[in-house]
Structure 1
Amino acid sequence: MSAFQDLMQFERDTGALAQVAGRLGWDQEVMMPPGAGEQRADEMAVMEAMLHARRTDPRVGEWLAVIDPGDLDDEGAAMVRQIRRTYDRSRRVPADLASALARLTSRAHRVWAEARADDDFAAFAPTLREVVRLKREEGAALADGGDVYDALLDDYEPGATAAQLSEMFGALRPRLVALRQAVLERPQPPALQGTFDEQAQMTLARTVAKTFGYEMARGRLDKSVHPFTSGGADDVRITTRTDALDPFNCLYSTIHEVGHAAYEQAVRRSYRFTPLGQGVSMGVHESQSRIYENQIGRSRAFTSWLYARMTEQFGDLGLADADAFYAAVNRVKNGYIRTEADEVQYNLHVLLRFDLERALIAGALEVDDLEDAWNERFLADFGFAVDKPSDGVLQDVHWSAGLFGYFPTYSLGNVYAGCLHKALRSDVPDLDAQMAAGDLGAATAWLRDNVQQFGGLFAPREVIQRACGDAPTEAPLLDYLEAKFGTIYSL
């Protein structure tokens, strides 16, 4: 037990240091002076070198060698299992490579943001080429002779493989494509009209965040180019963005990030700074953000409450009533941007990225050909051409940050959310009446009790199966989408 206690104290210190490193990343996207980019890259590299040294410290191996998981309770055994996994993976990656990736991806974020603003992929391509090169090198080290992309995917969804996800996504695609085609052939409901003060949008976004249970005393809401969530436990920060012509962008980005943040805030406090003290995977994390944003946030019941708040804040919305507002929230329309996509088309955006990044990591696609490959695939999938790089290959921050393997967890999270929503509805039969009154307490409590509180205690699929009673499949998500949009569009 002494070895276990020593190991856990060491891990808590490492966890605290990782939170500090994460705060540097948050600051870079929200508040950092624009001229500080190179210095921040050096700072991030030093922090990653320190973290890598701790994760590969020989004492960790010595402690693990003498600890018998059979002597521990379930939580202790899970902590040791997670520590061993991180230790084994970290030892495969050379320290200089880990430091170089941290420095490069910090600098790459600034290069990407400038290229995106200028609609100039060529300005970003050399930096992205270097990111891909280093990620291939990292993946090869982690794979140890196995599949390189699977090794990178394992960072975000432990235990998943690209082959498994391809099979699931292959089952999603036909029904999604058929639903998309059927919906787009129907008349479109009226859209929101007007200009919406951006400060007022932020005011309403904070109200909505609190309604979903986000604890502002342990977080904050700011603006960034790409909305994200950062931190854990008692310091979980979120960002959103505003558009004077589209307040839904701000509000639903906020709700999405609140789903991530609520997960982190709900993890058992005794797990803080331990390997169990955060969401178990990005797929499970995304299940929380998507069920908050879509099955709850875009429901007929909740949008009736939101309609009243919107009219209080902005006055006439150019819509007849709450039913028209609900239809406007859920309009299915052609668009370029993944984060602004409706529920019917969102996963098609993700599958495009999944296939392209697999090809990049495998060497079947090179960065110099990426923009053309993106544009060709987009035209084939969506039926219209990309108009500019910021609406295409430059729209997402992920590849600049080296997050290869992250994108498929968005669609996996949607599948998980479909399963959770079915179980939630079964367990809380009067859910709609509560949501229509702006009371999300039962919904968020169910998710907290069945998913969020456990942090990393269980494997990702096990978390969903324990909450739902069945192994996760794509069927509940597809059934939900077809029923919802079939009603809205009178299919």
Structure 2
Amino acid sequence: MTAYKDLMAFQRETEALSGVAGMLGWDQETMMPDGAADQRAEEHGAMANMLHARRIDPRIGDWLATADAPDDVAAANLRQIKRSYERTMKVPATLATELAKTTSLAHRTWAKSRAEEDVASFLPILQKVVDLRREEAAAVAGDTDPYDALLDDYEPGATGAELGAMFDALRPRLVSLRAAILDQPAPVVLTGTFDEAGQLALSEKLAAAFGYDLTHGRIDKALHPFSSGSGLDVRITTRTEERDPFNCFYSTIHEVGHACYEQGIDRKHLLTPLGAGVSMGVHESQSRIYENQLGRSEAFTSWLYGQMRDVFSDFGVADERAFYGCVNHVSDGFIRTEADEVQYNLHVLLRFDLERALIAGDLAVGDLEAAWNDRFLADFGYAVDKPSNGVLQDVHWSEGLFGYFPTYTLGNVYAGCLNAAMRKAVPTVDADLAQGDTSAATAWLRENVQQFGGLYQPTDLITRATGAAPTEAPLLDYLEEKFRGIYNL
């Protein structure tokens, strides 16, 4: 056991330093002054270099060779450490450092380019990010698909081919359902303005309603909402739009889903490889089931309607049923994060195909905007009007997160499976949600998913929780039942 104890003591320090690096990223998005960007890039690079050195420390190989695993937790810790060690050994330290520095600078460039609707100013540094990630993918992949090597960073064990087949199965029913809905009269939509103070106050109430522990977290504003941290320090951000309070409310609930996953992990895994979510697909399953199957349900929106009337008085929606349709309004739109449940995954599939082509070298960075616009027009039937509604809308590629986008749809698939199982196990869910009480639903998720952290592999975790291997069918069935009811199809 000495080797295992020594390895875990070393790993605990690595996890703590990784948390510090994460806080640098949180600060960059929320508090950092604009003029600090160059220095922050150096700081990110220094942290990346130090963490890379720790993750390939030769003692790790020695410890792994001799460590015993007396139980499932130890075996899982060793599996996770070995996976990280073997992967990191393939990536030169200079490349890891350069990636961290470049993506830190690219993020600031993206934000400026987006604000100025100037794609050309972003392309040079995006080219550098793509080149570096291709280099990393080639180093890790060996004889396998380079895109799979990047995808494995976010969804261990998944392949682009497998996800492509799943997404191909999703597309026809989604397109058919969308076409049927858009032929029907639209529900009422919100009009008027909603002050920021009221939105943020109700946003905090929603976070508490879904179980977010603010004694171990905080809510700030950011251009692109996100969740950061793990264990005892898990922070979220949201955003406000004066004409669209749902943007704030459902961004908050979405990020609370991520945060509650991290806060729900068994504390015995704190500062170990098991002390964070096992994959981005599973992470996204929590944010999406909180946001959609719970937060956009007819039961919960009936409670939210009363809360909005308390804050904003009469805001032009006659009753709870009309409000339910308003929250779940299906309409044309450019922005993925604002998309309704029916069309959301079509936005993700566009990005998945484009980034696979970028990494494979089949699509040049200079042609990305045109490729995006052509694909969007083909998929949605109308043209992108400006870059911030198109290729510049997402932060992910500026941060080098190639392989991340498909986990959003995979998370929706997992959420569909979990929702079906949860509702069988907890028949009072809707009665509880109508009172603004999410505790039974979130307790089931915490018991069956969240508490385990990285103990089980992603598909094994979903299978254990639901009793069946994950498929797209429960998600599609849920969407069709819900939206056929709303639109009287």
Tell me how far apart the structure 2 counterparts of residues 316 and 382 of structure 1 sit (CA, whole Å).
Answer: 34
1:482 matched to 2:480? The reply is yes
Tell me how far apart the structure 1 counterparts of residues 419 and 2 of structure 2 sit (CA, whole Å).
Answer: 43
Tell me how far apart the structure 1 counterparts of residues 279 and 60 of structure 2 sit (CA, whole Å).
Answer: 23
Q: What residue identity is the alignment partner of 1:13?
A: E
1:62 matched to 2:51? The reply is no
Tell me the equivalent position of 1:433: 431
Shift of 1:319: 0.8
Tell me the equivalent position of 2:26: 26
Do the aligned partners of 2:2 and 2:67 also contact (CA within 8 Å) in 1? no
Tell me the equivalent position of 1:108: 106
Q: For 1:82-161, what aligned pairs fall within 5 Å after superposition?
A: 82-161=80-159
- Secondary structure in 1 aligned to 2:236? strand
Shift of 1:68: 3.4
Aligned length: 489
Tell me how far apart the structure 2 counterparts of residues 234 and 206 of structure 1 sit (CA, whole Å).
Answer: 19
Q: Residue by residue, what CA displacement relative to the aligned partner does 1:193-236 show, whole Å, maximum 9, x if unpaired?
A: 21000121011100000000000000000000000000000100
1:4 matched to 2:7? The reply is no
TM-score, normalised to structure 1, is 0.99
1:342 matched to 2:340? The reply is yes
Q: For 1:201-350, what aligned pairs fall within 5 Å after superposition?
A: 201-350=199-348
Q: Residue by residue, what CA displacement relative to the aligned partner does 1:65-114 show, whole Å, maximum 9, x if unpaired?
A: 11233xx2000000000000000000000000000000000000000000
1:185 matched to 2:183? The reply is yes
Tell me the equivalent position of 1:392: 390
- Secondary structure in 1 aligned to 2:188? coil
Q: Residue by residue, what CA displacement relative to the aligned partner does 1:332-372 show, whole Å, maximum 9, x if unpaired?
A: 00000000000000000000000000000000001100000
Q: What residue identity is the alignment partner of 1:171?
A: A
- Of 347, 351, 365, which aligns to 2:349? 351
Tell me the equivalent position of 1:37: 37
- Secondary structure in 2 aligned to 1:222? strand
TM-score, normalised to structure 2, is 1.00
Q: Tell me the percent identity.
A: 67
Tell me how far apart the structure 1 counterparts of residues 479 and 83 of structure 2 sit (CA, whole Å).
Answer: 37
Shift of 1:144: 1.6
Tell me how far apart the structure 2 counterparts of residues 352 and 189 of structure 1 sit (CA, whole Å).
Answer: 27
Q: Residue by residue, what CA displacement relative to the aligned partner does 1:26-75 show, whole Å, maximum 9, x if unpaired?
A: 00000000100000000000000000000000000010011233xx2000
- Secondary structure in 2 aligned to 1:318? coil
Q: What residue identity is the alignment partner of 1:37?
A: A
Q: In angstroms, what is the RMSD of aligned CA positions? A: 0.5
**Which 4+ residue blocks in structure 1 deviate beyond 6 angstroms?**
none
Tell me the equivalent position of 1:472: 470
Tell me how far apart the structure 2 counterparts of residues 32 and 417 of structure 1 sit (CA, whole Å).
Answer: 35
Q: What residue identity is the alignment partner of 2:366?
A: D
- Secondary structure in 1 aligned to 2:22? helix
- Of 413, 416, 420, which aligns to 2:414? 416
Which 10-residue stretch deviates more, 190-199 or 155-164?
A: 190-199
Tell me how far apart the structure 2 counterparts of residues 228 and 145 of structure 1 sit (CA, whole Å).
Answer: 35
Tell me how far apart the structure 1 counterparts of residues 317 and 289 of structure 2 sit (CA, whole Å).
Answer: 26
Do the aligned partners of 2:55 and 2:88 also contact (CA within 8 Å) in 1? yes
Tell me the equivalent position of 2:369: 371
Tell me how far apart the structure 1 counterparts of residues 303 and 176 of structure 2 sit (CA, whole Å).
Answer: 32
- Of 359, 378, 381, which aligns to 2:379? 381
Q: Residue by residue, what CA displacement relative to the aligned partner does 1:138-192 show, whole Å, maximum 9, x if unpaired?
A: 0000102211000000000000000000110010000000000000010001101
- Secondary structure in 2 aligned to 1:60? helix
Shift of 1:271: 0.5
- Secondary structure in 1 aligned to 2:228? strand
- Secondary structure in 2 aligned to 1:438? coil
Tell me how far apart the structure 2 counterparts of residues 388 and 196 of structure 1 sit (CA, whole Å).
Answer: 26
Tell me how far apart the structure 2 counterparts of residues 325 and 142 of structure 1 sit (CA, whole Å).
Answer: 50
Tell me how far apart the structure 2 counterparts of residues 211 and 131 of structure 1 sit (CA, whole Å).
Answer: 40
Tell me how far apart the structure 2 counterparts of residues 460 and 33 of structure 1 sit (CA, whole Å).
Answer: 38
Shift of 1:244: 0.2
- Secondary structure in 2 aligned to 1:230? strand
Tell me how far apart the structure 2 counterparts of residues 251 and 431 of structure 1 sit (CA, whole Å).
Answer: 21
Tell me the equivalent position of 1:173: 171
Do the aligned partners of 2:417 and 2:471 also contact (CA within 8 Å) in 1? yes
- Secondary structure in 1 aligned to 2:404? coil
Tell me how far apart the structure 2 counterparts of residues 409 and 28 of structure 1 sit (CA, whole Å).
Answer: 24
Shift of 1:435: 0.4
Q: Residue by residue, what CA displacement relative to the aligned partner does 1:103-128 show, whole Å, maximum 9, x if unpaired?
A: 00000000000000001110100000
1:47 matched to 2:29? The reply is no
Q: Residue by residue, what CA displacement relative to the aligned partner does 1:296-336 show, whole Å, maximum 9, x if unpaired?
A: 00000000010000000011121110100000000000000
- Secondary structure in 2 aligned to 1:239? strand
Q: What residue identity is the alignment partner of 1:338?
A: R
Unaligned runs of 5+ in 1: none
Q: Residue by residue, what CA displacement relative to the aligned partner does 1:10-41 show, whole Å, maximum 9, x if unpaired?
A: 00000000000000000000000010000000
Q: What residue identity is the alignment partner of 1:211?
A: A
Shift of 1:460: 0.1
Tell me how far apart the structure 2 counterparts of residues 115 and 28 of structure 1 sit (CA, whole Å).
Answer: 17
Tell me how far apart the structure 2 counterparts of residues 360 and 264 of structure 1 sit (CA, whole Å).
Answer: 32
Q: What residue identity is the alignment partner of 1:23?
A: M
Unaligned runs of 5+ in 2: none
